[in-house]
């Protein structure tokens, strides 16, 4: 099964907000006229959105976010943040974490919807292959095929629920790989950036031996001017320098 962290960390957010309408429950938005003092114009009657099934937190482009999935991710996420903070979280912090989690799940549903529009599919064989990696279906180090088939065919098992979760995980993995291929920099660009960052610089220098360095104290300004006046032949005037 696909690994899940406190909030499932994917690649950098990819803006797909225009692809779907997000219906959050039980939030209802009511339009009101503001600042005009007039009654709003009568709106054209529209067909109401169908009521979501019980236990659904949100519906994104027709793909639901269930309460069990929310609880399964939210509880360890909150516990991890509290452990890092070393104290209980206040209500404002919990509200922020709930928003972070909801936005992550909404982003995943947008990715899923776009993946399906692009024809990406997950086969039942790939779902079963991922499930079989679980230690639950192994005897020692080997897969117990009979145990897995009994679990899959049992009417009392939660195979349908797990199948749905694994399908989502595999589809997100395929969509992530597609985005990495599409938006990753080309090899030529990487080589150029590497060369620019690792190019060698040219340093010009000259050496001075002990005979070129005086060990005596530096002359004072008065001494320097006096030497200049008494030894003019050792210096060039602007005119002689131009010639």
pLDDT tens sequence across 126-144: 999 999 999 999 988 899 9
Interatomic CA distance for residues 182 and 49, integer angstroms: 36
pLDDT at 92: 92
pLDDT for 228? 79
The whole-number average pLDDT for the span 60-88 is 88
Tell me if the bond preceding 142 is cis, omega within 30° of 0. no
Q: Is the pLDDT of residue 116 over 90?
A: yes
The average pLDDT across 176-205 equals 83
Q: What percent of the chain has a predicted confidence (pLDDT) above 70?
A: 73
- DSSP string computed for 145-214: HHHHHHHHH-TTS-HHHHHHHHHHHHHHHHHHHHHHHHHSPPHHHHHHHHHHHHPPPP-------GGGS-
The pLDDT of residue 113 is above 90? yes
Residue 18: phi and psi, rounded to 5, are: -80, -5
Of the candidates 110, 103, 109, 108, which has an alpha carbon nearest to the alpha carbon of residue 18? 110
Q: What is the predicted pLDDT for the residue at 14?
A: 32
Q: Is the pLDDT of residue 149 over 70?
A: yes
The mean predicted confidence, pLDDT, of the chain is 76
| CA–CA dist 89, 81 (Å, integer) | 8
Helix (H) or strand (E) holding 26: none
Q: What's the whole-number mean pLDDT along residues 199-215?
A: 73
Per-residue model confidence (pLDDT) at position 156: 93
H/E stretch holding 22: strand 22-24
Q: Check pLDDT > 70 for residue 19.
A: no
- Please report which helix (H) or strand (E) contains residue 221, including its range: helix 221-230
């Amino acid at each position: 099964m696909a690994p899940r962290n406190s909030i499932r960390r994917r690649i950098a957010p990819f803006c797909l907000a225009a692809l779907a309408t997000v219906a959050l429950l039980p939030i209802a938005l009511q339009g009101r006229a503001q600042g005009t003092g007039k009654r709003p114009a009568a709106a054209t009657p529209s067909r109401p959105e169908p009521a979501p099934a019980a236990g659904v937190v949100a519906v994104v482009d027709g793909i639901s976010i269930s309460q069990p999935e929310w609880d399964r991710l939210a509880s360890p996420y909150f516990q991890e943040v509290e452990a890092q903070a070393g104290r209980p979280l206040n209500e404002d912090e919990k509200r922020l974490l709930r928003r972070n989690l909801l936005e992550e799940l909404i982003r995943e549903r947008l990715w899923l919807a776009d993946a399906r529009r692009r024809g990406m599919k997950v086969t039942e064989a790939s779902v079963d292959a991922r499930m079989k990696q679980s230690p639950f279906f192994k005897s020692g180090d080997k897969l117990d095929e009979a145990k897995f088939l009994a679990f899959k065919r049992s009417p009392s098992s939660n195979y349908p629920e797990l199948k749905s979760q694994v399908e989502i995980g595999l589809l997100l993995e395929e969509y992530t790989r597609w985005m990495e291929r599409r938006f990753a920099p080309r090899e030529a660009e990487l080589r150029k950036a590497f060369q620019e960052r690792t190019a060698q610089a040219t340093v010009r220098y000259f050496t001075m031996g002990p005979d070129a360095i005086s060990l005596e104290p530096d002359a004072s300004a008065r001494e320097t001017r006096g030497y200049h006046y008494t030894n003019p032949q050792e210096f060039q005037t602007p005119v002689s320098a131009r010639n």
